Amino acid sequence: MITGSIVALATPMKTSGEIDWEALRRLVGFHLDNGTDAIVAAGTTGEPTTMSFAEHFDVIRTVVEEVRGRIPVIAGTGANATSEAVELARYAKDVGADYCLSVCPYYNKPTQEGLFQHFKAVAEGGDLPVILYNVPGRTCSDLYNETVFRLAEVDNIVGLKDATGNLERAEELVERLRDTGFALYSGDDPTACEFMLMGGHGDISVTANVAPHAMHELCRAALAGDTELAHQLNTRLMPLHTALGVEANPIPVKWGLNRMGYADSGIRLPLTWLSEKYHSTVGEALQLAGVLDD
C-alpha cells in the first residue's frame, strides 16, 4: 500500500500548448529530490482530457521511465467510456505503472450499479491495481460509500481517492474499511490533514506540485499521529491550499510552477492562464509556504 504525499502531477507545456517533455522529466526529479512518496501521471491536474491518446500514453511512459522504480507511479486512466478506461489501464500496465487511478465516468451520469460495473470491468480488463477516484464536483457522478464498500471486495480494486472534502463520509469509510488493506486517500488538500489523522493513508495532492517537501512532512506527521505537528504544518500550508483553488485546477498550480522556474506558461484550452487579479494571491501563498522567495 502506498502511504504519504502523492503528487497529482501537472504536465508542463510550452506557451504554444505543446507538452514540454524536458520540463516534465525535470519536474519528476524535483519530486524525487523532495520526498514525494508517489506520483500520479496524467491525472486531473495533468490535463489528460485535452490530450490525444498518444500524448496520454507518452506522459505515463515518460514518468515511469524517469522514476525508474524509485517511487510508485499511478497512471491516470479514467474515461467516461468503460472500454477506453480499460484500454488506458492496459497501456499503463504495459509501460510499467504500478497502479491506475480511475475516475468516475463524467458527463453521462451513470447509476450506482453502472459505476460498480464500470470499475469492475476496469479491474478485470486492465490487469493493474485500481484506485477509485470520486470527485463529484467535476464529474457530476458521485460514488456513494455503499458502492465503495461493494467495490472494495472486488479483486484488483485496492483503494479510493475521495475528493469530496466531506469528512463525515471519510469517517464512515475509515471505520468500515479499517484493517481491510483497502487504501483511503484524500483528494482535497484543505481537509487532507484531518482525513489522515482519522485513519486515512495519504493525500493525492495538488499542493504537492509546488510544495513537495512540506506536503511530505505534513503527511508523515499526520500518519504518525503527531496531531500537534500535523496541525502546525497544515496551518502554514492552508493559504496555499486555498489559493490553488481560486480558479479551476490546474490553472493556479501551473502559474506557481512557472513562477518557480519549473514550467513554461503553457496550458490548453478551454483552460486559460491564471487571471492577473489572482497573481498576488497565489504568489503570496507560495511565499508564506516558503517555496518562493519573492
DSSP string, 112-175: HHHHHHHHHHHHHHH-S-EEEEE-HHHHS----HHHHHHHTTSTTEEEEEE-S--HHHHHHHHH
Q: Which residues contact 285 (CB under 8 A, 6 or more apart)?
A: 239, 240, 242, 243, 244
- The binding site for pyruvate consists of 45, 204
- Interval 145-199: pLDDT, tens: 999 999 999 999 999 999 999 999 999 999 999 999 999 999 999 999 999 999 9
Going by pLDDT thresholds of 50, 70 and 90, the confidence category of residue 22 is very high
What pLDDT sits at residue 181? 95
Single out the residue of 217, 252, 210, 249 nearest to residue 234, CA to CA.
217
Q: Does 99 qualify as catalytic in the annotation?
A: no
CA 285/CA 270 separation, integer angstroms: 26
CA 283/CA 281 separation, integer angstroms: 6
Phi, psi at residue 114, to the nearest 5°? Answer: -65, -40
Which of 171-178's residues contact partners 24+ apart within 8 Å by CB, and which partners?
171/198, 172/145, 173/145, 173/148, 174/198, 174/199, 174/200, 175/199, 176/145, 176/149, 177/148, 177/149, 177/152
Q: Which amino acid is at 108?
A: N
- 39 has pLDDT over 70: yes
- Is 12 strand, coil or helix? coil
Single out the residue of 146, 93, 92, 141 nearest to residue 118, CA to CA.
141
- Is 75 strand, coil or helix? strand
Q: Does 93 qualify as catalytic in the annotation?
A: no
- Interval 212-261: pLDDT, tens: 999 999 999 999 999 999 999 999 999 999 999 999 999 999 999 999 99
What pLDDT sits at residue 293? 75
Going by pLDDT thresholds of 50, 70 and 90, the confidence category of residue 127 is confident
CA 113/CA 75 separation, integer angstroms: 25
What's the start-to-end Cα distance of the chain, in Å? 38
Going by pLDDT thresholds of 50, 70 and 90, the confidence category of residue 292 is confident
What pLDDT sits at residue 294? 62
Mean pLDDT of the chain: 97
Percent of the chain with pLDDT strictly greater than 70: 100
Whether the CB-CB separation of 101 and 86 falls below 8 Å is answered with no
Going by pLDDT thresholds of 50, 70 and 90, the confidence category of residue 132 is very high
CA 262/CA 13 separation, integer angstroms: 10
What pLDDT sits at residue 137? 94
- 139 has pLDDT over 70: yes
- 38 has pLDDT over 90: yes
- Interval 192-201: pLDDT, tens: 999 999 999 9
CA 249/CA 76 separation, integer angstroms: 15
Which CATH code is given to the segment(s) 4-226? Answer: 3.20.20.70
Going by pLDDT thresholds of 50, 70 and 90, the confidence category of residue 269 is very high
For the segment 104-120, the average pLDDT, to the nearest whole number, is 97
- The one catalytic residue among 91, 93, 99, 161: 161
- Label residue 17 left, alpha or beta by phi (over 0 means left) and psi (-120 to 50 means alpha): left
CA 9/CA 200 separation, integer angstroms: 21
If you ran DSSP here, which 8-state letter would residue 273 be given? P
- The one catalytic residue among 91, 99, 133, 185: 133
Which residue in the block uniquely carries the three cell numbers 491550499?
241
With 0-12 / 13-18 / 19 or more C-beta atoms within 10 angstroms meaning exposed / middle / buried, residue 277 is exposed
Single out the residue of 158, 155, 195 nearest to residue 173, CA to CA.
195
